[in-house]
Amino acid sequence: MTNQLKTVALLAALSGLLIAISYWVIGGTGGLIVGIGLAAVTNLFSWYQSDKIALSVYRAQPISESQAPGLYRMVQRLSQRANIPMPGVYIVPSQTANAFATGRDPEHAAVAVTEGILNILPEDELEGVIAHELTHIINRDTLTQAVAATVAGAISFLAQMVSYSLWFGGGSRDDNRGGNPLGILLTVILAPLAATIIQLAISRTREFSADSGSARLTGNPRALAQALQRLEATAKQLPLNANPAFEPLLIINPISGQFLGNLFSSHPATEARVAALLKLEHQLSTTTY
């Protein structure tokens, strides 16, 4: 229920911003109607197409068991252990090491990993990453992330169109009939920050929860801790470039380590995640023995 409330609140905030931008840019009742219509269509479309959108952004390709038997069977095995349907399995054609999950629910979900992560992680660490992504699916974090990213993408697109209009004479319209100049300026400035707003809106605690779920699913918290450290080091050198609004989907934030990245990141510090996993390892070993 908590995740559903988060989703509703996030969509309401983003939709409100989208409506406000349309009102500022177009002006009057017409702008308000356009904004409401755009928000409604974007929300409905992203709700049902969120998995396809995210996969498309990262150019993820579906794979079968014959194409990547080790990866496919790992996802299958962990899905059975978690008692959820087998998600689609995808590979992103990038040497960057990263992974994400998407989909509105466990019945419409997908797990994607990059070629890079398959090359650098040993089997136990890759298993920890896959289990982390499956936990996001179980918790329905993937819906919150993907829908929010799609709405943010619409906001960014609108800002881009506004910037074009400024270059090609949009500022010469009658201010009484057209858009508000101040609103247009604010749109151009604020819309590129939509991805950051998304990162702030989505709770950092979901990553700790997914890390914990992975550790309990695999029984090996240290493997995920080691994977996170390895992934962070490579992400700084070779980030996975795409629409910034979709960065919250990734297991490692590619802008982590920069001042603004730390301030506005959708992910907790890797050091904190590793510490939590090692603490959980101690708790699990104490309980076991």
Give binding residues for Zn(2+) as ranges.
132, 136, 207
Pick out the residues of the known binding site. 132, 136, 207
Q: Which residues of 23-49 are buried (b: 16+ CB within 10 A; e: fewer)?
A: bbbbbeeebeebbeebbeebbeebeee
Residue ranges in the chain assigned as alpha helix (H): 2-26, 28-57, 69-82, 115-120, 123-139, 141-167, 181-190, 194-201, 205-218, 221-237, 259-264, 270-288
211 CB neighbour count, 10 Å cutoff: 25
C-alpha torsion 237→240→242→244, nearest 10: -70
**247 part of the active site:** no
Q: Is 14 exposed, middle or buried (0-12, 13-18, 19+ CB in 10 A)?
A: buried
Strand pairing category for 99-103 and 109-114 = antiparallel
DSSP state, residue 245: G
207 near 273, Cβ under 8 Å?
Answer: yes
Which one is catalytic: 133, 232, 247, 281?
133
Q: Are 226 and 286 in contact (CB under 8 A)?
A: no
Q: Give the residue numbers marked as catalytic.
A: 133
